[in-house]
Amino acid sequence: MTETVFSNAKLVLPNEVVLGSVRAENGAITAINTGPGDVGEDMAGDYLIPGLIELHTDQFENHYRPRPGVFWNTLGALQAHDVQIAGSGITTVFDAVRIGADPEMPGMAEHVQVMVDAIATGVGDGRLRADHLIHLRCELPTPDVVDDFERFCGLPLVKLASVMDHTPGQRQYQTLGGYVQYYKSKLNLSDAEMEQFIADRQAEGERYSASNRAAILKRGHEIGIAFASHDDATEEHVEESLRDGVDIAEFPTTLVAAEASHKAGLAVLMGAPNVVRGGSHSGNIAAADLAREGCLDVLSSDYVPGALLLAAFMLPGIAENIQLSDAIRMVSSRPAKAAHLSDRGEIAVGKRADLVRVRMHGDMPVVKGVWRQGQRVS
């Protein structure tokens, strides 16, 4: 039997913060004691919080493709990504991989295959610090996304999928100005080429999106995958998500959609960088505004792993109705529940001993130690 005691810590429990200690045996939490008393590894009054749970991050792909046209050794990229994830206090990560043809990355299906293979290898041989699972980001207006989904959805590590539609003129790109600004410079298109690019994307959306969405959701529900909608903007989008049995409302772009999703029981997920920066980089609804309205449920680090912890500690100072324990639930127990993970996400007897020691330097939280199932990993 392996046993670890974490003593003299500010324990961030589901509904309160107390001074106390946590005992872990064989990877699980077996006792929580408040006040002084237990002898163990002295946390010196630092915070002890549940390991963070990240549902949507593109960072593995960014390590794999650090520059346009440059593809890194896949396992090397995964290991670098894993170090960054664990060092940010994230003990469970859903690595997001895009499926469906992508004009930014020709041959996307082959790249997805090597990324998925690398994750399976890293998990299988025990080299990774965090617990890695897979999130399939399904780009609906593409001709091959259903075939790609069928190829990957049955893998044991695939636990989450999002149904996305980036057709210009709706959802994230309700106005074409932002779409043109993003893609024209990124793909180096002339005005005429940009106009044709938009027309092609809109035609694909009309042809493929609805039927692909239905096929993917049907298949995913058959095998028990959790689903997220993406960039819902209207009440009609939310009603569609409810009819489709979606669990998570990923990055709603308007207050109307966020309020309707939260009221209906969907977990409203927003980007932690949105909190840290004070708003959306694409001009959509601010996460802090949703927090103040009481309809923010989950945070995701999205494109900055370190933002997850920072945003959680920032939120109580931004929204008067948010306490630290509330904010920590947004990055631990709530994402766990949304992704159907019942064994982790809070400091509670019987849960996995996924724990993070956090020391405050002024108003900046700093990770001082990370334990996954009671074993130190960072």
Same domain, 352 and 311: no
Residue written as tokens 């001993």?
Answer: 353
Tokens of 204: 């694909």
Count of structural domains, the chain: 2
* pLDDT band with cut points at 50, 70 and 90 for residue 281: low
Which pLDDT tens digit goes with each residue over 170-211? 666 666 666 666 666 566 777 787 777 777 777 777 788 889
Burial zone of 181 (CB within 10 Å; 0-12 exposed, 13-18 middle, 19+ buried): exposed
User: Can you give the CATH number for the domain in which 333 is found?
Assistant: 3.20.20.140
Say if residue 56 is in the same domain as residue 162.
yes
For residues 365 and 277, state if they share a domain.
no
Measured distance CA(198)–CA(336) in Å, rounded: 38
Same domain membership, residue 209 and residue 313: yes
Domain extent at residue 233: 52-343
Mean pLDDT confidence for 88-97: 97
Give whichever of 99-113, 203-217, 283-297, 356-370 has the largest mean pLDDT.
356-370
Nearest to 202 by CA among 158, 239, 170: 170
Q: Looking at the structure, do residues 11 and 112 belong to the same domain, yes or no? A: no
Same domain, 350 and 339: no
Q: Domain check: are 187 and 103 in the same one?
A: yes
CB atoms within 10 A of CB 362: 6
Same domain assignment for residues 239 and 293: yes
Per-residue pLDDT tens over the stretch 50-91: 999 999 999 999 999 998 889 999 999 999 999 999 999 999
Identify the pLDDT of residue 114: 95
User: Is pLDDT above 80 for 241?
Assistant: yes
User: What CATH number is associated with residue 373?
Assistant: 2.30.40.10
Alpha-carbon distance of 22 to 169, in angstroms, equals 51
Taking CA 128 as the corner, what is the angle to CA 122 and CA 130, rounded to the nearest 5 degrees?
125
Do residue 303 and residue 242 come from a single domain?
A: yes
Amino acid found at 172? Q
DSSP letter assigned to residue 14: S
Same domain, 103 and 172: yes
CA triple 131-137-143, angle to 5 deg: 145
Encoded tokens for 248: 């998570």
Note whether 139 and 223 are same-domain residues. yes
Q: Do 150 and 40 fall within a single domain? A: no
Q: Counting beta carbons within 10 angstroms of the beta carbon of residue 37, is it exposed (0 to 12), middle (13 to 18) or buried (19 or more)?
A: exposed
